[in-house]
Amino acid sequence: MASSPDIPSADNTPENPGSGSPSDTPQSTGTTEGEPRRGRVRARRAAVMAVPATVALAGLAVFTAQGILGVSFSISGMPFTVTAKSLDGTGFEQFGGLDNMIKDSPNEGDTGGQVLIVTSAIKKATLDSLCQSVDLGGVNLLIKAGSGSSKVEATDLTTDSTELTGNASFNNIEIGNDASTLDKAGVKGPEGVFSQQADTVHIDNLRQTNYATTAAVFKLPGLKLSFSDSGC
């Protein structure tokens, strides 16, 4: 496993090899008030080289021990739910990720402003009966589209998720790739990061908890936006 590229703190010297970890108590000298948070950040980044994934044709569940930056913008830190009756994708990639909030975000809690996620990239995707909801504190902003004959279509779609469930099948799947060598969806991760990819993916009863989504093109036929007491 490669080591974290972060520069050690003042206390994390050969004479004090244990200092700077999330569980260590800061020393009375040479330690700033923000040191514990930076320790948690380093711990997350240090495990990026070994992101485990479990895939079954009867269901898909991906768990990350740590990750890398999945999107190029600062996330709000508010999770949102996405569901669909089915998803069909051509050119599929998946690898561990780490998303960042703005400095001192009101939503960071005890995360240090970072969220461990799984980045899923699909070159071309079609979704049946898309539903997206975000809890705004007692009321949900609800978006629905593609429930008729016209389905939701997306190109260069990426999602950063902390939870993904459904019944999945893949064609020509490769598991255990180095993320920097991925070539199915046009997205590459850092060197040494665990990843997987496939020519095609099909998921029934898709449900995701996401922190970010990007797409080059996102077509939402029959779009309906509303507020609701319940989410997707």
Residue 49: HSE in the Cβ half-sphere, 13 Å Cα cutoff: 8
Cβ-based neighbour number of residue 211 at 10 Å? 22
Look up residue 218 and give its two tokens.
Answer: 């996102």
pLDDT, one tens digit per residue, over 192-215 is 889 999 999 999 999 999 999 999
- Higher-pLDDT residue of 71 and 32 is 71
Q: What's the pLDDT score for residue 194?
A: 92
pLDDT, one tens digit per residue, over 120-133 is 999 999 999 999 99
Question: Is pLDDT of 224 > 50?
Answer: yes
When pLDDT is averaged across residues 14-24 and rounded to a whole number, the result is 46
Question: Is pLDDT of 36 > 70?
Answer: no
Look up residue 151 and give its two tokens.
Answer: 């389905």
Asked if 210 and 99 touch (Cβ cutoff 8 Å), the reply is no
Question: Is pLDDT of 104 > 80?
Answer: yes
Q: What is the pTM of this model?
A: 0.72
Cα pseudo-dihedral 98, 90, 185, 50, rounded to 10 = 40
Cβ-based neighbour number of residue 132 at 10 Å? 22
Burial class of residue 224, CB neighbours in 10 A (0-12, 13-18, 19+): exposed
Distance, in Å, from the CA atom of 231 to the CA atom of 220, rounded to the nearest integer, reads 19
Identify each DSSP E strand in the chain by its residue range: 54-56, 59-61, 80-100, 114-128, 130-135, 140-145, 152-171, 174-178, 194-214, 217-219, 224-228
Q: How confident is the model at residue 191 (pLDDT cuts 50, 70, 90)?
A: confident
Q: How confident is the model at residue 2 (pLDDT cuts 50, 70, 90)?
A: very low
Residue indicated by tokens 């598991």? 175
**Residue 191: CB partners within 8 Å, gap ≥ 6?**
178, 179, 180
Look up residue 197 and give its two tokens.
Answer: 């990819």
Asked if 232 and 208 touch (Cβ cutoff 8 Å), the reply is no
